[in-house]
């Protein structure tokens, strides 16, 4: 998908969680690419009542594609970006996450025209918070 534009770093994979700084940089790049080429982008935020354990992380990473982005900004939060993924397809990932880690609250959103990386994260976190409150 070069189309005259190269990604800064293509080594962000779902094989292991990235630092928050690396994730945010990669997410800004994905938002830019998605905007430039009119590609879908979905974001999931999973929040746990407790600290994530390595077993949870292995389960989550096992559900993702190689090009998906993942970060753990806090002990109880995981953020996942699904590049080139429409909301309907992201909901499939959401369902799988719910089955793998049923005790978590999951928020989901997709990129809309004019969105920034910050705005996407804000909406996904707000959706996870609403789900947490409704429990």
Is residue 81 within 8 Å of 41, Cβ to Cβ?
A: yes
Which domains are assigned to the chain?
Answer: 20-133 (3.30.70.270)
pLDDT score of 7: 39
pLDDT score of 15: 53
Copy the structure tokens of residue 135.
């429990």
pLDDT score of 114: 94
Torsion of CA 11, 14, 15, 18, to 10 degrees: 70
One digit per residue, the tens of pLDDT, for the chain of length 135 reads: 444 443 343 333 465 666 888 899 999 999 999 999 999 999 999 999 888 888 888 889 999 999 999 998 988 999 999 999 999 999 999 999 999 999 899 999 999 999 999 999 999 999 999 988 876
Distance CA 98, CA 69 (A): 18
| pTM of the full structure | 0.85
């Amino acid at each position: 998908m070069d189309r005259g534009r190269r990604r800064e770093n293509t080594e962000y994979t779902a094989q292991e969680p990235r630092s928050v700084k690396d994730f945010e940089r990669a997410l800004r790049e994905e938002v830019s690419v998605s905007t430039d080429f009119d590609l879908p982008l979905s974001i999931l935020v999973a929040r746990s009542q407790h600290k994530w354990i390595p077993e949870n992380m292995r389960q989550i990473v096992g559900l993702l594609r190689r090009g998906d982005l993942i970060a753990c900004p806090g002990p109880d939060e995981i953020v996942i970006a699904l590049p080139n993924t429409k909301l309907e397809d992201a909901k499939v990932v959401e369902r799988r996450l719910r089955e793998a880690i049923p005790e978590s609250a999951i928020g989901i959103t997709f990129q809309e025209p004019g969105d920034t990386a910050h705005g996407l994260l804000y909406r996904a976190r707000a959706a996870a918070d609403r789900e947490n409150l409704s429990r």
